[in-house]
Chain A
Amino acid sequence: EDQVTQSPEALRLQEGESSSLNCSYTVSGLRGLFWYRQDPGKGPEFLFTLYSAGEEKEKERLKATLTKKESFLHITAPKPEDSATYLCAVFGRTYKYIFGTGTRLKVLA
């Protein structure tokens, strides 16, 4: 059964304190792994799509990496405006998106 587990559930960082969020997955025939950012009361905002192990993508202070079992979202020198819930999802041979329950990130000034 396809499954996504995100850790930690919640993370508090000081401004400038770099860290990583983890997305562990099991999926039959990975066709894509997706990262989204979600602000309270809003819809998920697309960040990255990764397709194969070894792939990396960057956007401002965020960098996503992918291995055969997990993906990391690295946040470098975060700012308070990076506070949000970060969601991970996979898409495999079942042709369904499987979402994790997210990591709630709080960056303190």
Chain B
Amino acid sequence: DVKVTQSSRYLVKRTGEKVFLECVQDMDHENMFWYRQDPGLGLRLIYFSYDVKMKEKGDIPEGYSVSREKKERFSLILESASTNQTSMYLCASRRGQGGETQYFGPGTRLLVL
């Protein structure tokens, strides 16, 4: 079974704090993704990575950065958290470059006060 884990299920942070969300997958997948999910808006892609040290912007990268130093680990960084970044953050991984299935982690619910 594919296993994608995220470092925290719930986080509460203050405006202006630097926030790190970590994701680890154990299936040697080349591709990893960060999404945020908001009611009525569905899943929106923030960043993805197709290889170690490689990254591509998704649809809503503003206010976020990412790091992929090892194949199994993909980190999302909120440089200076703002209240509009309160959301559910989902990490996913996928093998290959075609229409293969994405597998999701359990999610991190972030509240920025």
User: Chain A: residues with CB nearer than 8 A to chain B?
Assistant: 30-32, 34, 36, 41-46, 49, 51, 87, 89, 91, 95-97, 99-102
Interface set, chain B 88-111, CB cutoff 8 A to A: 88, 90, 97-107, 109
B103 contact from A46, A91, A95, A102, Cβ within 8 A: A46
Please tell me if the beta carbons of B105 and A102 are within 8 angstroms of each other in the complex.
Answer: no
Please tell me if the beta carbons of B109 and A99 are within 8 angstroms of each other in the complex.
Answer: no
Interface set, chain B 54-113, CB cutoff 8 A to A: 58, 88, 90, 97-107, 109
Closest-by-CB residue of B relative to A51 is B99
B102 contact from A34, A51, A102, Cβ within 8 A: A34
Q: Is B12 an interface residue (CB 8 A)?
A: no
New contact pairs (7) apart from A31-B99, A97-B102, CB-CB < 8 Å: A32-B99, A43-B104, A49-B101, A87-B42, A87-B43, A97-B43, A99-B43
Given contacts A43-B105, A44-B104, contact A102 B42 (CB under 8 A): yes
21 A-B residue pairs with CB within 8 Å: A31-B98, A32-B98, A32-B101, A36-B104, A41-B88, A42-B106, A43-B4, A43-B6, A43-B106, A46-B102, A49-B99, A49-B100, A49-B101, A51-B99, A96-B45, A97-B33, A97-B43, A97-B45, A99-B43, A100-B42, A101-B40
Chain B interface, number of residues (Cβ within 8 angstroms): 23
Taken together as a complex, chains A and B put the C-alpha atoms of A30 and B98 apart, in Å, by 10
- Smallest CB separation, A25 vs chain B (Å): 13
Taken together as a complex, chains A and B put the C-alpha atoms of A44 and B38 apart, in Å, by 14
Taken together as a complex, chains A and B put the C-alpha atoms of A87 and B45 apart, in Å, by 15
- Smallest CB separation, A28 vs chain B (Å): 13
Please tell me if the beta carbons of A43 and B42 are within 8 angstroms of each other in the complex.
Answer: no
Residues of A near B109 (CB, < 8 A) are 41
Taken together as a complex, chains A and B put the C-alpha atoms of A108 and B97 apart, in Å, by 41
- Smallest CB separation, B68 vs chain A (Å): 18
